Amino acid sequence: MRFFSTLGLFACLSGCATASTLTFPEDGGTPPPADAATDAASDAACTVKCGGACTDPKTDSANCGTCGNACSSGSKCVAGLCQCSASATKCGSTCIDTKVDAKNCGGCGNDCAADGGAPSGGGTWACVNGACTVNCTLPKTVCNGGCVDTKTDSANCGVCGTACQLTETCTSGLCCTTGQNNCSNVCSDPNTDAKNCGTCGTVCGVSTPNCVSGKCVACNNKVLILGDSGTTQNAAFLAKVNAAGMVGTMVDNGMTTYAGSPAASGFSAILLMDGLAYTTDMPLAGQQAIVAAQGAGTGVVFTDWGPYHVYSSQWASLKSISLFTYTTGAGPVAMTLTLTQANHPIWTGLPNSFVTTSSMGCSGGTITNSGTKIATNASCPTGGVIIRTTPGGRLVYLPHTANWNNNTTWVNDTNTVLLTTNALKWATGCLL
């Protein structure tokens, strides 16, 4: 039961022209909202409506000056007009932040990509504080306006601007001779380094202390020396070889008579000590035995007159492993040999540069069969000490002519003998 005010009811009955029905929420009707008076007041204060919403066209950036006139990015509505914000510049009809816009970097129309397109190396342009810069995706970095990988780029190895030599490559950010590995930031030859044999960190053990062609092997110190007709000097040099810790077998006149016996494969290295027999060829069977042994891992050391055989249309097989081709000769001279590849084992116990005390001939020519020069010869600048580590056994070319011109004093030249025995030991793998 509901109770009504008799005064209100009386007023309606006496003053209403048409009867009205009063509704309530319980009856399913909708009463006026409680804040209807406030809304009415707000509507009265609203001067402009856009899409049913009250707005101030003087300050509304979505409806600046009139409904639907939206200000562009970087601008705002001031006094009913779109104006660029303090951090933006008007470029045409658009407000641009020239500190970060790559097409208007530092000023309108300054497109970073206008001159050269995309940066070299796969980078992209960016605008930073009004200056065009290059963005690179890792692992690449910015060098001279382009993107490079400093771990592999030979023109920017390790850091921008560090260029490797022609015989070097960039290996994990370090310039190393082609074929070497970067092991803890040190260049290492995987074919010869007993501390990094084959791969970085592989250390050869006590029973197989030497690294030959990337494998740890026991040291075979047996060497074959093929001499010429200088039997006195041959015997003196053989004694030096044995004193250096090797077990040498000398074959007098072997340069002209060796036909494969004793078997080349039974030795870890072979020395072709030619000085007096450079005009006579070695039997083909002997050459083939040496080449086969080298392919299987036996080292071979050549002295200076060896390449003359190739020049004279000899050495049909041996020329495939000869590291130097003769073109001119000089001598007898005292040679000045200077190491150019730091700390190479062949130079163990030798001064960085020395002059031979005995005069010998030397040859000019060209390096062949992928040889690498590790020491220069001032007397014959195109020659020097040349090596190769792989494939097969190690190869060495020495620029002295041993017994040439009946030289009987070279075996008493301390540095020359040490260089030759070191080369022979290195060829065996016994000199680490």
Domains identified in the chain and CATH numbers:
189-218 (no CATH), 220-428 (3.40.50.880)
The pLDDT value given to residue 431: 65
The pLDDT value given to residue 153: 92
Would you say residue 208 has pLDDT above 60?
Answer: yes
Query: Model's pTM, two decimal places?
Result: 0.56
Average pLDDT on 60-81 reads 84
Average pLDDT on 383-404 reads 93
The pLDDT value given to residue 170: 95
How far out from the chain centre does Cα 258 lie?
46
- Report percent pLDDT > 70 for the chain: 88
Q: Which residues pair with 143 in a beta bridge?
A: 146
Average pLDDT on 339-364 reads 92
Cβ neighbours of residue 271 closer than 8 Å, sequence gap 6 or more? 223, 224, 225, 226, 300, 301, 303, 420, 424
Q: pLDDT tens for residues 3-15?
A: 333 333 333 333 3
Per-chain mean pLDDT for the chain: 85
Would you say residue 297 has pLDDT above 80?
Answer: yes
DSSP 163: P
Q: pLDDT tens for residues 365-381?
A: 999 999 999 999 998 89
Q: pLDDT tens for residues 214-252?
A: 888 877 889 999 999 999 999 999 999 999 989 999 999
More confident residue, 150 or 24: 150
Would you say residue 144 has pLDDT above 70?
Answer: yes
More confident residue, 346 or 13: 346
Distance from C-alpha of 42 to C-alpha of 58, rounded to nearest angstrom: 18
Under the banding of pLDDT at 50, 70 and 90, the label for residue 130 is confident
Least confident of 12-16, 26-30, 162-166: 12-16
The pLDDT value given to residue 83: 82
Would you say residue 260 has pLDDT above 80?
Answer: yes
Question: Is the Cβ–Cβ distance between 352 and 374 less than 8 Å?
Answer: no
How far out from the chain centre does Cα 15 lie?
103
Buried b (16+ CB within 10 A) or exposed e, 100-138: ebbbbbeeeebebeeeeeebebebebebeeeebbbebee
Amino acid, res. 25: P
Would you say residue 18 has pLDDT above 90?
Answer: no
User: Could you tell me how many residues make up the chain?
Assistant: 432
The pLDDT value given to residue 115: 64
